[in-house]
């Protein structure tokens, strides 16, 4: 900021310069700004001395811009317009609030973003700053008001509300399942038989300790499949996109894949699922100040999940 200040001209001269250049008159500029013509003239001399270049051609009763003055006027007008718009925005919305929300990629892409417009309709005076990150350190940053995060439910210094428990089940595209109907036609065929016929799309993420296919199959009492029968991806929305495009079987998390299931873009081959002791939580600071925006967003999110 120090170096920027050294490069700036005297700031109180810029409004006078803009008016004088636009009106091509120091006298008319003075009337508009409610100061004397002599004051405008002094400010323009000060500005020219600061810039070390003449900005005006001075005639008896009028002024006109030099070539350098025209270039400077074009830039200054744009800058002052931005400042005026920012000032007007603050004056017109003195009670607007901003809340900072941090969410991991999965819940941000698959649940929050499709619904965020509804929250804005309910709370038009609340400005939302959304940070999408899988790094735990971002969830406890000082400027974060609310976090939507996955874990066991214990965060020191935070109030937490369970949004939904971790319920996990296989999903795939309808076409991918249809290609394997001959397997399901055998009497006694089970999920293990079906999975052996396809590719397993696995999440490879070192941030959260998500359940992968190996853990899921162990918990479900199924035999493990060859490790070369898999595609590993480090982004859960892309795992689901791969499944939607018929590349294999993925693990689906309840609520995160509900919309894809409802649209028929993904299907559940079997109704079996694994439920762990983790889940998605909404976090707020115990010592934080709950303003209308924070309270509104918390209640809105909880209401969305209470509807099922």
Tally of structural domains, the chain: 3
Binned at pLDDT 50, 70 and 90, residue 1 comes out as: very low
Q: What is the mean pLDDT of residues 167-172?
A: 94
Q: What is the CATH number of the domain that holds 81?
A: 1.10.10.10
* Backbone phi and psi for residue 77, each to the nearest 5 degrees, phi listed first: -60, -45
Of the candidates 59, 46, 6, the residue with the CA atom closest to the CA atom of residue 17: 46
Residues 158 and 283 in one domain: yes
Is the per-residue pLDDT at 79 higher than 70?
yes
Q: What is the mean pLDDT of residues 15-43?
A: 94
Burial level of 138, CB count in 10 A (0-12/13-18/19+)? middle
Q: What is the CATH number of the domain that holds 183?
A: 3.40.190.10
Q: What is the mean pLDDT of residues 250-268?
A: 95
With beta carbons less than 8 A apart as the criterion, state whether 120 and 128 touch: yes
Q: Is the pTM of this model over 0.85?
A: no
Domain that holds residue 221: 165-276
Q: State residue 180's pLDDT score.
A: 85
With beta carbons less than 8 A apart as the criterion, state whether 256 and 107 touch: yes
Higher pLDDT, 249 or 285: 249
Residues 122 and 176 in one domain: no
The mean pLDDT value of the chain amounts to 87
Of the candidates 139, 140, 126, the residue with the CA atom closest to the CA atom of residue 98: 126
Residues 8 and 83 in one domain: yes
Residues 238 and 264 in one domain: yes
């Amino acid at each position: 900021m120090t170096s920027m200040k050294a490069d700036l001209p005297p700031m109180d001269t810029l409004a006078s310069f803009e008016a004088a250049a636009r009106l091509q008159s120091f006298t008319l500029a003075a009337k508009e700004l409610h100061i004397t013509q002599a004051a405008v003239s002094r400010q323009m001399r000060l500005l020219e001395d600061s810039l070390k270049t003449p900005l005006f051609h001075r005639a008896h009763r009028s002024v006109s811009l030099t070539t350098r003055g025209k270039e400077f006027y074009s830039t200054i007008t744009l800058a002052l317009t931005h400042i005026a718009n920012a000032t007007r925005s603050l004056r017109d919305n003195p009670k607007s609030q901003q809340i900072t929300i941090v969410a991991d990629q999965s819940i941000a892409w698959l649940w929050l973003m499709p619904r965020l417009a509804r929250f804005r309709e309910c709370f038009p005076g609340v400005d939302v700053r959304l940070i999408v990150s899988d790094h735990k350190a971002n969830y406890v940053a000082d400027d974060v008001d609310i976090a939507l995060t996955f874990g066991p439910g214990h965060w020191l210094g935070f109030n937490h509300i369970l949004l939904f428990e971790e319920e996990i089940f296989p999903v795939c595209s309808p076409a991918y399942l249809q290609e394997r109907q001959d397997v399901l036609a055998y009497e006694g065929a089970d999920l293990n038989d079906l999975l052996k016929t396809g590719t397993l799309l696995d999440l490879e993420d070192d941030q959260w300790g998500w359940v992968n296919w190996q853990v899921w199959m162990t918990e479900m009492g199924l035999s493990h499949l060859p490790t070369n029968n898999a595609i590993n991806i480090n982004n859960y929305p892309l795992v689901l996109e791969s499944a939607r495009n018929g590349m294999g079987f993925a693990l689906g998390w309840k609520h995160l894949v509900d919309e894809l299931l409802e649209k028929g873009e993904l299907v559940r081959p079997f109704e079996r699922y694994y439920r762990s002791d983790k889940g998605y939580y909404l976090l707020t600071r115990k010592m934080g100040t709950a303003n209308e925006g924070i309270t509104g967003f918390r209640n809105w999110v909880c209401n969305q999940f209470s509807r099922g």
